Structure 1
Amino acid sequence: MQVAIIGAGAAGLSIALALHSRGIQCTIYESREAPHRGMGALMLAPNALRILDSLGLYQQLRSRGFNFSTVEFRDQHDTVNDTWQMGNQDQYGYDALRITRPAFLDVLRAAVEERCIKVKYAARYSHIVEERQKGVTFQLGDGTRIEADILVGADGVYSDVRRSIAPTVEPIYSGSLALLATIRRRFANEAASTTIKPPQTTFYYGQSNALLVLPQEHDGSQACLGTQRKYSEQSREDWVHLGYDKDKLYDLFMQDTSEWPQRVQDAMAQIDKDNIYIWPFYTLPDLPSWTSLPHRRTILIGDSSSSIPPTGGQGACQAIETAYTLAMVISTISKTPNLPADSYTTSIASWQSARQERVQKAKLFTTQLDNNRLPPAERAKLPAGTYWEAGQHPDLSWLYGAGLATKGVTRVEVQKNRGAVTRVRAATVDEIYGMNENLQNLPRVGTGDGVKGAC
């Protein structure tokens, strides 16, 4: 089995490492000429950290990011109105982790290099030449043609691979622009620093504005300040130009900030214009299929197949889950002899259905969390079930628990059929598949009669 992966971002590196852990050969093709470290940071919850731990990456990541369990919701008077649990060592085995994107990618790339996984840079994907029942041929920009058993598109929200599955689908601008800045969590006024502590992991909500404060180094010495503004859509080139206009970004960031409490204003006073960057929010329409039809040899994962707003920290987490579960299905199929001809397509179809169901649930969770930050008068206009009242904390074991979900997780069963042939079936299940006693490793998929592999 040979898998080709387009894109060397978080999703592409994750599936490469997951495939390698199961003995599946893969090659990553990246259009950039050298590794790209990216900007910003990720919020990783227990559901993703458990997978990364099973791949031997958690301890390195943990030492490079800020570990925490709750986020505070504060109003403009600095009053705590609610807290939200993003992780919990005792309950789920892991606290949440806030880590810069460059640090996250550095750890994954180091593991890819250490494990001798092939990465080819300056290898821009062009198009699919032919897809067959048992393989796919695709072409790079320089004319090189490559044969693979499976092609995985992990090339982001502007995916080129997606054209072969959903040629008319384009990212949709949400109308909102995120402005983010990194600061050192200290005060210029030494007297103030002894009496006013800098904000912790906090969402501040005012009458017309919102601000987040998220530490993201291991000792909390660096923090990200973030806010959101309505902004007209720009071309990709103009977004780049706006990103370099630091004076304009600073003015946008500082609009309507007088309502914030003093310690927030002290923190904002430390913003360096050069450390401000933007994130225009783009979403994808729900795709009917993440895989090519009828053979399903081309598969989309991560932002190329779905997009989740960042509020709940589940965008990267769901991409990592998708990568790991797909690797599990591919591994089980590849290691099972004498499969019927339709086993691959039916298993991938069932995997896709399970993942789409879980991603939709994660999207609803994010919408509810997003709506919690609205002013009470606006929130009261929303339909029931689209937000939570303060202190009304739902059970999140389906999301964070030891098992990827109570429903919508993918199970692959390998069974003998009347003693003659072996069939692989992927299905959604209601059981929670647990971890071993020390919560360090996910169960592995085996092969043979009656073996069940769970993610």
Structure 2
Amino acid sequence: MEMTQRRSTPEIAIVGAGIGGLAAAAFLHRAGLPCRLYEQAPELKEVGAGLVVAPNAARLLRRLGVLGELERRAVRLDVGWEFRRWQDGTVLSAEELTASCERLYGEQTYTVHRADLLEIVRAAVPDGAIQLGRRCVELMQRGDRPALRFDDGEVVEADVVIGADGVHSVVRRALTGSPAPVYSGMCAFRALVPAERAPSLARRNAQTLWIGPDHHLVHYPICAGKLVNLVAFAPAGDYSVESWSATATVEEFLAEFEGWDPRLLELIRAGGVPGRWALLDRAPLSRWSHGPVTLLGDAAHPMFPFFAQGAAQALEDAAVLARCLAADATDPSGALQRYEALRISRTTKLQQISRGRSHINHLPDGPDQQARDAAFADSDPLVANGWIYEYDPDATPAFSG
């Protein structure tokens, strides 16, 4: 029998200590399975800006015992899916979340800075589990065990390897060959605006989406209302840099939204130098587990941010993976196959619908846009997307019986 099938408590190595990797470690710890996290950065910090914590993510943070800290640092939304017309801010639809969200799904919806969420999830990981400054450069095989080689030459073996190392995943590349991403033709601008400098419209506890020809723009408060997160999507032209650290100029950002509602231009000016990155498209994988090695989060299923589910799906992956390994720790390869089978259809569907959302949001003014706006007025996105928000790994037939 293989060594990976003999151990009652497998040695588990996680590559990447972002939100997904930390969540995996936290859920594994909760299941009584220790692990080691290897993170290339010399300190744990999350670049980027804000994200939405929908009920499916809040449910899992509650299960980790950290929802209270989220509530202290985040903003609980009163209004979500507030679609506005680009020229004048006409409200096309809006969802009152205060009562309906908890009634439907048992949890509220929040907005939070990525760095805050990273710290919140890290609090559920045991001290000493994370090794910083460890850049994995190769996934190897040593006998019947996978091994990781780091940039300092050290090789570490494990019974289970989890690649949670993001869209540029070393583990994914070793497993799948990681074909080159496809140029989407879109880029994103982002900025954080001090609340005192933002127009009053943007300071409300609301997630607002402005939609117009070839563009859309989203804003909501984060950091207990101290900042406003601003992210906007526009044609990329020949811009192809996929990096959270790349920047644009305020003038470039403003030029993309010339003629839009003056309050948006005020918000853009108040944000200072914006970040800018290209949206590159990656086709869904047909499999992401190979023996005792698997992928999680963006390494497994990178998706456009148009349904705000990237971090939530990483949390879901982590919860399901831990349950599968805990259910049969003596057969890690079988547990990882079960994890993949439970997760891949859901994440593939989200990848696909997120890709299609840009077309809907970016329609030029005309008959199709008018039909879309009329449909918005009659829609209830909180109910229509119930299959996303009601998901609970512990309540799935695979685990609830």
1:212 equivalent to 2:215? Answer: no
- Paired residue for 2:315? 320
Deviates more, 1:264-273 or 1:1-10: 264-273
CA contact (8 A) 1:351 1:410 kept: no
Distance 1:379 1:215, change over 3 A: farther
CA contact (8 A) 1:89 1:95 kept: yes
Deviates more, 1:359-368 or 1:251-260: 359-368
Alignment of 1:292-441 (within 5 A): 292=290, 296-334=291-329, 344-367=332-355, 369-375=357-363, 380=368, 389-393=376-380, 395-401=384-390, 403-404=392-393, 409=396, 411-412=398-399
Structure 1 counterpart of 2:276, which letter? Answer: I
- Paired residue for 2:250? 250
Distance 1:23 1:379, change over 3 A: farther
1:98 equivalent to 2:111? Answer: yes
Bigger share in helix: 2
2:229 pairs with one of 220, 224, 231: 224
1:67 equivalent to 2:79? Answer: no
CA contact (8 A) 1:165 1:289 kept: no
CA contact (8 A) 1:398 1:405 kept: no
- Paired residue for 1:415? none
Structure 2 counterpart of 1:253, which letter? Answer: F
| Runs (5+) with no aligned partner, structure 1 | 413-432, 434-451
Aligned residue for 1:49, secondary structure, equals helix
Structure 1 counterpart of 2:253, which letter? Answer: F
Aligned residue for 1:225, secondary structure, equals strand
Distance 1:304 1:208, change over 3 A: closer
Alignment of 1:162-173 (within 5 A): 162-173=172-183
- Paired residue for 1:278? 276
CA contact (8 A) 1:45 1:96 kept: yes
1:197 to partner: Cα distance: 7.7
1:240 to partner: Cα distance: 7.6
1:370 to partner: Cα distance: 3.9
Aligned residue for 2:361, secondary structure, equals coil
Alignment of 1:107-126 (within 5 A): 107-112=120-125, 115-126=126-137
CA contact (8 A) 1:14 1:108 kept: yes
CA distance in 2, matches of 1:46, 1:318: 12
- Paired residue for 1:428? none
1:139 to partner: Cα distance: 2.2
TM-score by length of 2: 0.85
Alignment of 1:137-156 (within 5 A): 137-156=147-166
* Identical columns (%): 25
Structure 2 counterpart of 1:280, which letter? Answer: A
Report the number of matched residues. 382
Aligned residue for 2:27, secondary structure, equals helix
Distance 1:379 1:399, change over 3 A: farther
CA distance in 2, matches of 1:242, 1:45: 28
1:61 to partner: Cα distance: 1.2
CA distance in 2, matches of 1:43, 1:230: 24
CA contact (8 A) 1:47 1:401 kept: yes
| Runs (5+) with no aligned partner, structure 2 | 1-9
CA distance in 2, matches of 1:5, 1:176: 32
